[in-house]
Chains A and B, each alone.
Chain A
Amino acid sequence: MSALLEIREASKAFGGVQAVTRVSLEAQKGEILSVIGPNGAGKTTVLNMISGFYHPDSGRIVLEGRDVTDLAPSRIAELGIARTFQNIALFRGMTVLDNLLLGRHVHMKTGVLSAFAYWGLAQKEEVAHRKRVEDIIDFLRIQDLRRRPTGSLAYGLQKRVELGRALALDPKILLLDEPMGGCNHEEKEDMARFILDVNQEWGVTVILIEHDMGVVMDISDRVTVLDMGQKIAEGTPDEVRANPRVIKAYLGETKTDLPGGSRG
């Protein structure tokens, strides 16, 4: 089986700080792959390299056999990789609907001029996009929020809308950077449910960064562990949980955030 997305020995340094060192990852089609690790392990850097915000100093990123290492973020999005951000990054001052429709941007082909020239065509296209967005709104159960400005929503709902905006791209791969960060228990359960449904019903491959080990171990097919910018373990949740290097990385000197611990 060939991987949908492959990271081959990617390294990235910022100034003198080596953020990621020769990390390799493979996401198989249809799986939920989690990337975990202590703070500063390089998880978000890996995600930013996949989505084109950073280009690795060395190493390659390959999507469906195609080298995408040096493509701009907007091209990466067009190729079917959508993402959410660690800090909520909804467009402020816009409604939920506008945010979701912006997620359809890569599928909107009519330009400014042609939109005026072929008004009817543009309208038909608009209807199709609107329908897709309505499906997502139903799926995420945010029907009441369509016309609400995003800034007025509760934190967990904003996270949900951000997931919806990424889904609106109809991505092959969904990159989620701490989708449950800052959420309460109930919001986390909802989010976990949505991620599983997206993965199982829509067949979207998910790459997930998350700190809540309970959730990670519950929903992931495979887990990759980073520490100090290097990959230290990889495998099923059970394998990773039992891996002495992982336990050591997480335990450090004092017992803190043991994978599979009582949290979550």
Chain B
Amino acid sequence: MSDDLGFFCLLMSNGLLIGLMYSLIALGFVLVYKATDAINFAQGEFVMIAGFVAAGGLMVWGVNLWLSIALAIASLVVFGFVLERVMLRKLIGRPVIAVVMATIGLASILRGVGPFTIFSGSKPLPLPIRDEPFVLGPLFIPPIQVLGAVVSLAFLAGFGWFFLKSRKGIAMRAVADNQQVAMAMGIDVERYFGVAWAMTGIVSALGGILWGNLLGVDVNLALVGFKVFPVVILGGLDSIPGAILGGLIVGVVENIAAGYIDPYVGGGTKDFAPYVLMILALMVRPYGMFGKRIIERV
């Protein structure tokens, strides 16, 4: 295999694996949008908080790894549930912009307040997996990315099954489609909203642990949330397969950009290349590749 091809394969494999880790975070966004029609601009901050709780448990309070992970998941579930009850339920039926602004505000508050209550500065989040990458020909595959991809795929498949096949998941789709009619079917709409936010908490917690291991835990961990927007715009705001595909595309595009363009411009293309693609996608297919095409009633 030539070096050029090897380099390309390296960028691709890396992009696909990282992409699946984006998909996991995007899944958190999709779950909430699917069930409640709310756009959560604080998704990255959810991930960041989970990272802080897990790293705090491990490095500050000295509890063991599994307990730290459990703590991160539990606190994010409770956080999602309480957030829905206290803040977002009041916004049901208001214009979309109300929820958007509320979650943007929430994001700032979490970035400002969250870290100080646990620890300030940066902490690593070590997981008991090997550091040296697997070497397969030209490919260097970091074990954390493999773990991330496996966890992501497991949860994407699990939630995919939940929405497609389980009664509760179908009821949740009904809630998302038409709240009024869902109520007339005897579905307790508000309870399902709470459940959706709690599910987002689980996904965000796992995302926070994986990304926290990869990047270290500090306020900047919230920045992975920015990658969620190109992912969900490319895949469709309410689509789980879309989150997978969108994540893969974003992962690959940013790696390819970093590998081939960065050497000429001195770096940084990774951060905006997915957004270029996102804007192009918005111009062509505003509802994403798998998203529900909303036909306005006349």
Answer yes or no: B177 CB below 8 A from chain A CBs.
yes
Q: How far is the CA of A127 from the CA of B166 in the complex (A)?
A: 13
Q: Give the contact-size bracket for chain A.
A: 20 to 34
Answer yes or no: B89 CB below 8 A from chain A CBs.
no
Q: How far is the CB of A241 from the nearest CB of chain B, in Å?
A: 32
Contacts A74-B186, A105-B187 given; does A91 touch B167 at CB 8 Å: no
Query: Which residue numbers of B lie inside 8 Å of A, CB to CB?
Result: 166-168, 170-171, 173-174, 177-178, 180-189, 195, 292
Residues on the A chain within 8 Å of B188, using CB = 72, 74
Query: Which residue numbers of A lie inside 8 Å of B, CB to CB?
Result: 51-53, 72-75, 77-78, 82-83, 85, 89, 91-94, 98, 101-103, 105-106, 108, 111-112, 115, 126, 165, 169
Q: Which 4 pairs of residues, A with B, have the shortest CB-CB distance?
A: A77-B186, A106-B186, A73-B183, A89-B181
Residues on the A chain within 8 Å of B189, using CB = 74
Q: Tell whether, in the assembled complex, residue A169 and residue B183 are in contact, meaning their CB atoms are under 8 Å apart.
A: no
Q: How far is the CB of B265 from the nearest CB of chain A, in Å?
A: 44
Q: How far is the CA of A82 from the CA of B185 in the complex (A)?
A: 7
- How many inter-chain residue pairs (CB < 8 Å) link A and B? 70
Contacts A73-B183, A77-B183, A77-B186 given; does A108 touch B167 at CB 8 Å: yes
Q: How far is the CA of A93 from the CA of B294 in the complex (A)?
A: 11
Main secondary structure of the interface of B (DSSP, over half): helix
Q: Which of B168, B170, B187 contacts A98 (CB under 8 A)?
A: B170
Q: Tell whether, in the assembled complex, residue A91 and residue B177 are in contact, meaning their CB atoms are under 8 Å apart.
A: yes
Q: Interface centre among B166, B167, B195, by most A CB within 10 Å?
A: B167
Q: How far is the CA of A206 from the CA of B195 in the complex (A)?
A: 35
Residues on the A chain within 8 Å of B186, using CB = 74-75, 77-78, 105-106, 169
Q: How far is the CB of A130 from the nearest CB of chain B, in Å?
A: 11
Residues on the A chain within 8 Å of B182, using CB = 102
Residues on the B chain within 8 Å of A91, using CB = 173-174, 177-178, 181
Contacts A91-B174, A93-B177, A112-B195 given; does A102 touch B166 at CB 8 Å: no
- Closest residue on chain A to residue B238 by CB atoms: A93
- Closest residue on chain B to residue A107 by CB atoms: B186
Q: Tell whether, in the assembled complex, residue B171 and residue A102 are in contact, meaning their CB atoms are under 8 Å apart.
A: yes
Besides A85-B181, A98-B170, A169-B185, 20 more A-B contacts (Cβ < 8 Å) are A51-B184, A53-B183, A74-B185, A74-B186, A74-B187, A74-B188, A77-B184, A77-B186, A78-B186, A83-B184, A91-B174, A94-B170, A94-B173, A101-B170, A103-B185, A105-B167, A105-B186, A112-B168, A115-B167, A169-B186
Q: How far is the CB of A26 from the nearest CB of chain B, in Å?
A: 22
